[in-house]
Amino acid sequence: MPIQFPFGRPSGGEPLPVVALRLTDITGRATSTLTAIVDTGADGTLVPLPILRVAGFKSSRIRREFVPGGVGRSVETVVGYQVTVRLGELTLPSVDVFGSVHIGDVILGRDVLNQLVFTYDGPRRLLDFLTP
């Protein structure tokens, strides 16, 4: 049985493919349910840094360079956090998400998407994730 997520409202253009997810760290701390934009062009998953800090997550030693979109924006070194990502009934352990001070939305990238089978149904404006 697939897990379905309807697209979100347009942000000045077309409706966005979004999912509801929760992040949990190794100690059991969790975020509230977050809405993430599904971005098949993003290498990794990004979370606004304040969300990770408020949840009490501890950063790891992993660092990456994040190049934000837009003209004149500088590169940011983002800090990794190892978490479990939960999408409905799907649980993906040991995912490195990165906290950024430059973004306002959660971005679900290919590091997570490449572990899943899903269909992008543009005409119906639905994402269907197949459960293993």
Residue 130 belongs to some domain of the structure: no
Residue 109 belongs to some domain of the structure: yes
Residue 128 belongs to some domain of the structure: no
Range of the domain at 72: 3-115
Residue 132 belongs to some domain of the structure: no
In the beta sheet, which residues pair with residue 83? Answer: 95
Question: In the prediction, which pLDDT does 93 show?
Answer: 94
Residue 17 belongs to some domain of the structure: yes
> How far, in Å, CA of 25 to CA of 95, rounded?
10
Question: In the prediction, which pLDDT does 69 show?
Answer: 66
Question: In the prediction, which pLDDT does 70 show?
Answer: 58
Q: What is the DSSP letter of 30?
A: B
Cα 110 from chain centroid?
A: 9
Total domains in the fold of the chain? 1
Q: What is the DSSP letter of 59?
A: P
* HSE toward the beta carbon, residue 34, CA cutoff 13 A: 24
- The structure tokens 């590169």 sit at 75
Residue 122 belongs to some domain of the structure: no
Residue 121 belongs to some domain of the structure: no
Residue 120 belongs to some domain of the structure: no
Question: In the prediction, which pLDDT does 72 show?
Answer: 67
Mean local confidence (pLDDT), 39-53: 93
> How far, in Å, CA of 38 to CA of 13, rounded?
16
| Number of other residues whose CB lies within 10 A of the CB of residue 84 | 16
pLDDT digits (tens, 9 = 90+) for 50-101: 999 999 999 888 888 877 665 566 787 889 999 999 998 899 999 999 999 8
Mean local confidence (pLDDT), 113-120: 94
Question: In the prediction, which pLDDT does 22 show?
Answer: 95
Here the CATH number for the domain that contains residue 70 is 2.40.70.10
Question: In the prediction, which pLDDT does 48 show?
Answer: 96
- Residue 52: φ, ψ to 5°: -65, -40
Mean pLDDT score across all residues of the chain: 89
